[in-house]
Amino acid sequence: MSTISLKIEFGGGLELLFANQRSHRIDIPCRVSTDNDTTVKELNEKEAKAVDVSYLVHHMRDHMLKERAELFMENGTVRPGILVLINDTDWELEGEGEYQLKNGDEVVFISTLHGG
Amino acid sequence: MSACENPNVDQDALMTRRQKFDGKTKICVKCKENTGNIVIRYAVYCKSCFFPLIQTRFRKSLEPSINVIPDGSRRKGLKAAGSLVIAFSGGTSSTAMLDLVAKTYFAQRTGDTEERRGGKEHPRNLDRGVWKGKPVVCFVEVCGAFDDQRDRTDEIKAVVGSYPGTPFEFIPLRLEDAFNPLWWKQVTGDLSTSALSLGLDMRNEDLQLNQSTSEPSPLVALRRYLASLPTQTALYNAIHILTRVLLLHTAASRKASHLILGTSLTSLSVNLISGIAQGAGFSVAEEAKEEWKSQRGASVRVVRPLREVGMKECAIWDWWCGLHIVGRSRKFIQGGGRSAIGALTRDFIFGLESDFPATVSTVARTCAKLTPKEGSDGICVLCERPAQHGVQAWKSRISIRSYDQASSSITGNTRPPHLTETEIANLTLTSQDVSALTPSLTPRLCYACHTTLTSRSSRGTVHSGQSPGNIPIPTWVHAALQPTVGNEDSSDDDEDAEITQSTKLSQMEMKAQIVDFLLDEQ
């Protein structure tokens, strides 16, 4: 299975949920399940899609998150109050979860929940 | 699907989500050249236009209030009456605010050449000397309120000291300082022994003040005070109030003319909605902008220069400037307060900001138009904000204040589920039993503070069933009570104050009251 390499960074205290490590390098498959199931071993091509940010968020929850998933995800996406930058650009400009990831992309997750 | 369909009729009718940005392209709306990097309330900005945009909004909110008499936003004549105190929590927006203050007013010159460029009236040099003296960064450590929370003072100190040329003086405070007579002595003056020995009786709504013989340490006093509060909402609100008043008194003691808080537009909306929900609607204006006067007459202007900047912009500013976020106490953010009104409101507003960003600023702008209908009746001794006139009389009209049938209900099934038998027994004590000779805190509180101290809930009680009788009170409450307690001659105002009492009348008595207006039945 071919994979792509991504750089993941955390800001605003979100790293506390990810073993207090601010920067991660991960490899994820190029083709993934349409329902974002990260445990699928053999992929049925009819139910596959190119890997996107939505899958990445599920991957992070299932394989990187160390505690309290509810502080990271809500309703299948990142929790309100968590900002996402894809290659230094607001993910709202890139189609949010539908952005198709490319090899070498840098994705930053910033929590604003630490408030004032 | 129309956005206006009725979800009660059609289950599938939901408000359609608006596109996240206006326009067909991702080009920056300001320079119209670069590809955009961030969406701020539907408008796209590139990275280079983002920084001046935020700095302009910051200045626009702060500078009109720098001069004693507002003088528009003219930069030339900016001159504050005193020094500047910056409240810093280590959170997202106060980190951005500290950076903005440093870069706007206290940036170090890069070299001698630049030093010589332009005269003293040159716009480059005008920002210097706006504030008197060295600015102070004040941090209140709240870990004392919770178990197992780390002290972040050293981390905060490192952040404050990291600015080139160390332009800021750092003053660390602790939440328990609110109960520390030594801190009060430093910022204001001595408290009399009689005032210091007062404790609060929270067994009923009169909140009597008793003489107490125990003198707990500030930390123990803080813990006892917080443990006596009836709800999770009250607990977090009390921490908020203590932090705010600690900052205000510290600012006054430093002869500061301005205290700036890192309240972003998002936090301001949260504070406004949650404040109104907790009965603080009267001080909605103070939540946005406040002119506070200390008990000694010192005046401090409280400004929130990020009130036009959302939390998203603050977070992006921090990230792009490479600023370290120390973060606020984790328990304070995410912990046991999840059922508290503040946390529920925060979740609501953050969700709103994510789905419909413009509505968050609408909340703040709408609240800015609100003015109280009635005048103020002095200052609340706990939160030191204006208190509404005739609060207790009004409260007695709109709520059930006593539980008359309690004694018979205790054994029956009609006992309210959120009250224990002891609490009911305490509530049924009539005020004449205990209050005739002892001073009460209730008339000196605003509606919101009285509610914070007394309003019980069926859920979220911190220490269910605990009805403490001798609770420590913050030092500024002691100080405010000083002239009246133990000096009966000075209580002229109290004697003139309107005293109301509610009594349930029988049908005959009611009929007797209106007998002159009744028509004959024949």
pLDDT (tens digit per residue) in B345-393: 988 998 888 888 888 999 988 988 888 887 787 889 999 998 888 887 8
pLDDT of residue B10: 62
- Residue in the block written with tokens 């993941």: A8
Position B120 pLDDT exceeds 80: no
Percent of chain B residues topping a pLDDT of 90: 34
Position A14 pLDDT exceeds 60: yes
**Which residue of B38, B41, B261 to mutate against A (max A Cβ within 10 Å)?**
B38
Rounded to an integer, the average pLDDT of B454-465 is 58
CB atoms within 10 A of CB A56: 26
Tell me which residue of B328, B129, B101 sits closest to B236, measured CA to CA. B328
Rounded to an integer, the average pLDDT of B461-483 is 72
The least confident of B107-116, B180-189, B263-272, B300-309 is B107-116
Kindly state whether B269 is in contact with chain A, defined as any CB-CB distance less than 8 angstroms: no
A81–B354 CB contact, under 8 Å: yes
**Which residue of A67, A70, A93, A114 to mutate against B (max B Cβ within 10 Å)?**
A114
pLDDT of residue B78: 83
Among chain B residues, CA nearest to A78: B354
The least confident of B52-56, B190-194, B207-211 is B190-194
Kindly state whether B314 is in contact with chain A, defined as any CB-CB distance less than 8 angstroms: yes
Q: DSSP letter for B484, please.
A: T
**B136 phi/psi in degrees, rounded to 5:** -115, 135
Tell me which residue of B336, B346, B270 sits closest to A113, measured CA to CA. B346
CB atoms within 10 A of CB B33: 10
Rounded to an integer, the average pLDDT of A96-114 is 90
Kindly state whether B342 is in contact with chain A, defined as any CB-CB distance less than 8 angstroms: no
Maximum distance among all alpha carbons in chain B? 103
Which structure tokens are listed for A98? 């539908």
Asked if residues B268 and B287 have their Cβ atoms less than 8 Å apart, the reply is yes
Asked if residues A22 and A15 have their Cβ atoms less than 8 Å apart, the reply is yes
Average pLDDT across chain B, whole number: 80
pLDDT of residue B94: 94
How crowded is the C-beta side of B415, counted as CA atoms within 13 Å? 19
Percent of chain B residues topping a pLDDT of 70: 73
B311 to chain A: which residues are within 8 Å by CB?
Answer: 81, 112, 115
Rounded to an integer, the average pLDDT of B116-121 is 57
Rounded to an integer, the average pLDDT of B186-215 is 76
A13–B38 CB contact, under 8 Å: no
Position B315 pLDDT exceeds 90: yes
pLDDT of residue B9: 64
Asked if residues A72 and A79 have their Cβ atoms less than 8 Å apart, the reply is yes
The least confident of B60-64, B171-175, B392-396, B473-477 is B392-396
pLDDT band at B483 (very low <50, low <70, confident <90, very high): low
Distance, in Å, from the CA atom of B206 to the CA atom of B188, rounded to the nearest integer, reads 29
B334 to chain A: which residues are within 8 Å by CB?
Answer: 68, 71, 113
The least confident of B94-108, B218-232, B427-441 is B427-441
The least confident of B36-50, B182-196, B319-333, B453-467 is B453-467
pLDDT of residue B440: 84
pLDDT of residue B460: 45
The gap from C-alpha B139 to its chain's centroid, in whole angstroms, comes to: 15
B21–A16 CB contact, under 8 Å: no
Kindly state whether B483 is in contact with chain A, defined as any CB-CB distance less than 8 angstroms: no
3-state secondary structure of B104: helix
Position B128 pLDDT exceeds 70: no
Tell me which residue of B367, B169, B404, B160 sits closest to B281, measured CA to CA. B367
pLDDT of residue B511: 85
Per the rule left: phi > 0, alpha: psi between -120 and 50, beta: everything else, B34 is: beta
pLDDT of residue B437: 55
Position B100 pLDDT exceeds 50: yes
Rounded to an integer, the average pLDDT of B199-209 is 79
Asked if residues B275 and B265 have their Cβ atoms less than 8 Å apart, the reply is no
- Residue in the block written with tokens 């911190």: B462
Would you list the DSSP string of B369-401? T---SS-EEEE-TTT-SEEETTHHHHHHHHS--
Give, in degrees to the nearest 5, the angle at Cα B92 between B87 and B98: 45
Asked if residues B275 and B340 have their Cβ atoms less than 8 Å apart, the reply is no
Rounded to an integer, the average pLDDT of B207-223 is 84
Position B178 pLDDT exceeds 90: yes
Give, in degrees to the nearest 5, the angle at Cα B395 between B393 and B401: 105
Highest mean pLDDT among A40-54, A68-82, B1-15, B169-183: B169-183
pLDDT of residue B256: 92
Which structure tokens are listed for B36? 């955009």
Kindly state whether B186 is in contact with chain A, defined as any CB-CB distance less than 8 angstroms: no
Asked if residues B98 and B305 have their Cβ atoms less than 8 Å apart, the reply is no
Q: Could you read off the pLDDT of B17-37 as tens digits, one per residue? A: 666 776 678 899 999 999 999
Give Cβ neighbours of residue B224 (< 8 Å, ≥ 6 apart).
B216, B468, B471, B472
Specify burial of residue B137 (Cβ count, 10 A radius: 0-12, 13-18, 19+): buried
Q: Which segments of chain A does DSSP mark as H helices, in order? A: 53-63
Parallel, antiparallel or unpaired: strands B209-211 and B198-200: antiparallel
Q: Could you read off the pLDDT of B413-447 as tens digits, one per residue? A: 556 666 666 666 665 554 445 445 568 888 889 98
pLDDT of residue B322: 93
**What domains can you pick out in chain A, each with its CATH number?**
3-111 (3.10.20.30)
Distance, in Å, from the CA atom of A34 to the CA atom of A45, rounded to the nearest integer, reads 10
The least confident of A59-73, B6-20, B52-66 is B6-20
pLDDT of residue B148: 78
The CA R_g of chain A, rounded to the nearest whole Å, is 14
Distance, in Å, from the CA atom of B61 to the CA atom of B101, rounded to the nearest integer, reads 12
Q: In B126-168, at which residue ranges do the beta strands (DSSP E only) sit?
A: 136-141
Highest mean pLDDT among A39-53, B93-107, B477-491, B496-510: B93-107
Which structure tokens are listed for A96? 């949010």
Rounded to an integer, the average pLDDT of B251-278 is 92
The least confident of A42-51, A53-62, A95-104, B24-33 is A42-51
Which structure tokens are listed for B504? 């349930």
B35 to chain A: which residues are within 8 Å by CB?
Answer: 89
B318 to chain A: which residues are within 8 Å by CB?
Answer: 11-12, 110
The least confident of A101-115, B184-198, B238-252, B490-504 is B490-504
**Which residue of A90, A94, A107, A111 to mutate against B (max B Cβ within 10 Å)?**
A90
B89–A16 CB contact, under 8 Å: no
Position B264 pLDDT exceeds 60: yes
Which structure tokens are listed for B109? 């010159």
Q: How many residues comprise chain B? A: 522
End-to-end CA, chain A: 45
Position B496 pLDDT exceeds 80: no
pLDDT band at B403 (very low <50, low <70, confident <90, very high): low
**B81 phi/psi in degrees, rounded to 5:** -75, -20
Q: DSSP letter for B291, please.
A: E
Predicted complex ipTM: 0.93
Rounded to an integer, the average pLDDT of B462-483 is 73
Kindly state whether B472 is in contact with chain A, defined as any CB-CB distance less than 8 angstroms: no
How crowded is the C-beta side of B219, counted as CA atoms within 13 Å? 7
Q: Which segments of B278-340 does DSSP mark as H helices, in order? A: 284-288, 311-320, 330-334
pLDDT band at B15 (very low <50, low <70, confident <90, very high): low
Distance, in Å, from the CA atom of B53 to the CA atom of A114, rounded to the nearest integer, reads 23
Closest-CA distance of chain A to residue B92, Å: 6
The least confident of B141-150, B426-435, B471-480 is B426-435
Q: Could you read off the pLDDT of A26-35 as tens digits, one per residue? A: 999 999 988 8
pLDDT of residue B310: 93
